[in-house]
Amino acid sequence: MKILVTGGLGYIGSHTCVELIKSNYDVIIVDDLSNSKEKVLDRLEQITGKRPKLYKYDLKDKSKIEEIFKENKIDAVIHFAGFKAVGESVQNPMKYYNNNLVSTINLLEVMKKYNVKNIVFSSSATIYGNVGIPKYTEEMGRGKTSNPYGTTKSMIEQILEDIYNSDNSWSISILRYFNPVGAHESGLIGEEPNGIPNNLMPYIMKVAVGELEVLNVYGNDYETEDGTGVRDYIHVVDVAEGHIKALEKLEKENNGLYIYNLGSGKGVSVLELIHTFEKVNNIKVNYKIAPRRPGDLAIYFADPSKAKRELNWETKRSVEEICRDSWNFIKNNSERKSK
Ligand code: UFG
């Protein structure tokens, strides 16, 4: 089967390409390199022995998407491509609405034209909004999102639902990720955010490696066990495997619209993650307590039981493995500065 992976050189995209190739899928990548590097393609080849075909196109150009579908007989699409920085989306909402929505609409229109109606979409737990209950189940549905990035995810979910309702020969799987972290065990691919990271794990890594001075822990007065924010961190390879399972289900069942949480079901606090990272890697992470970050919730984690029941998917990798693999990746991929 030929799978088109949009954003396939990005963080979750690249790990999913590895798992796809391992499962004998034929992988084609489209990526505009706006938040990824072409060297990832070499790394994919190093890991799997196969080099996926790459189109360096921006999905906002519909004629380019058509070119891909004309040249290749695509069976299904996994759609990762999109901007994802929460803070930037608040500063520059139109950049997010324009990029994330236009590219997805173009993609879906071309898919329809070429009668390719199988898609797995990369969504986020952020679509639940602030619900006041820590454990998120799929049945809760979409709530009020707190930033334009999250709103684009929510809107795309709605678009996919509408498409399915208008034509139920589509097969759609929506995967709502919690907090993907970690890296491939080879140390060859991982998360490489441009500039100063927004998210906790990339920040921990930069401080551990000596590129940044100190990690701000945003608030230690939340109503959680140690006062710091609690999230559901999942190893990116577990996330990647979730996509394979979702794809297999689409192949098996043929038509339908399916929604799954991809999470571990376990909450881990900011301090717990820092201390696990320190212990597993035997390295100090310099941190200080800072004020709360506006818009953050105290605690949430997944109810992953639906994915377990219907996809036979669950997380296999521990927080310790997450910390080990993250460190292994950053060690191999950054110029270490002396502290
Ligand atoms: N945190 C810090 N210091 C930092 C960064 C984060 O203390 O420098 C804390 C946050 O306050 C929070 C936790 O670490 O308690 C996790 O924060 P992240 O920024 O890593 O992740 P979020 O849970 O805020 O958001 C992530 C993704 C979003 C996605 C959301 C879905 O960044 O894209 O999960 O649940 F929408």
48-64: pLDDT as tens digits:
999 999 999 999 999 99
Residue 233 alpha carbon to ligand 1 centre in Å:
10
Residue 144 alpha carbon to ligand 1 centre in Å:
18
Of 181, 193, 177, nearest to 318 (Cα)? 181
pLDDT tens-digit series, residues 293-336:
988 999 999 999 999 999 999 999 999 999 999 999 998 887 64
For the chain, helix, strand, coil in percent to 5 are 45, 20, 40
Q: Cβ contacts of residue 56 below 8 Å, gap of 6+? A: 31, 32, 33, 38
Residue 289 alpha carbon to ligand 1 centre in Å:
15
Phi, psi of 37 (to 5 degrees): -125, 145
Of 224, 207, 249, 233, nearest to 339 (Cα)? 207
- As a whole number, the mean pLDDT across the chain is 96
Q: What is the pLDDT of residue 193?
A: 77
Q: How far apart are alpha carbons 229 and 292 in whole angstroms?
A: 9
176-200: average pLDDT: 93
| Ligand 1 near 146 CB (within 6 A) | no
Which band of pLDDT confidence, cut at 50, 70 and 90, is reported for residue 338? very low
Q: How far apart are alpha carbons 82 and 151 in whole angstroms?
A: 12
Which band of pLDDT confidence, cut at 50, 70 and 90, is reported for residue 339? very low
Residue 199 alpha carbon to ligand 1 centre in Å:
5
List the residue whose alpha carbon is closest to atom 3 of ligand 1. 217
Which band of pLDDT confidence, cut at 50, 70 and 90, is reported for residue 194? confident
Q: What is the pLDDT of residue 335?
A: 60
Q: How far apart are alpha carbons 23 and 191 in whole angstroms?
A: 23
CA atoms within 13 A on the CB side of 126: 22
- Contact of 274 with 285, CB cutoff 8 Å: yes
Of 244, 261, 178, nearest to 5 (Cα)? 244
Of 205, 89, 109, nearest to 151 (Cα)? 89
| Ligand 1 near 203 CB (within 6 A) | yes
| Ligand 1 near 15 CB (within 6 A) | no
User: How far out from the chain centre does Cα 62 lie?
Assistant: 24
Which percentage of the chain shows pLDDT scores above 90?
A: 93
| pTM assigned to the model | 0.97
Q: What is the pLDDT of residue 203?
A: 96
Q: Residue 17 pLDDT more than 80?
A: yes
pLDDT tens-digit series, residues 70-96:
999 999 999 999 999 999 999 999 999
Q: What is the pLDDT of residue 62?
A: 98
Per DSSP, 128 falls in state G
Of 164, 119, 4, 118, nearest to 69 (Cα)? 4
Instruction: Give catalytic residues, as residue numbers.
Output: 149
103: enclosing H helix or E strand: helix 102-113
Quick one: residue 256, left, alpha or beta (phi over 0 = left, psi -120 to 50 = alpha)? left
| Cross-strand bridge partners of residue 135 | 301
- Token couple for 136: 């998120």
| Ligand 1 near 184 CB (within 6 A) | no
For residue 293, give the ligand 1 atom closest to its CA. 11
List the residue whose alpha carbon is closest to atom 11 of ligand 1. 218
For residue 270, give the ligand 1 atom closest to its CA. 14
List the residue whose alpha carbon is closest to atom 30 of ligand 1. 126
Residue 179 alpha carbon to ligand 1 centre in Å:
8
Of 255, 239, 233, nearest to 175 (Cα)? 239
Phi, psi of 301 (to 5 degrees): -155, 170
Q: What is the pLDDT of residue 192?
A: 83
Q: Residue 337 pLDDT more than 50?
A: no
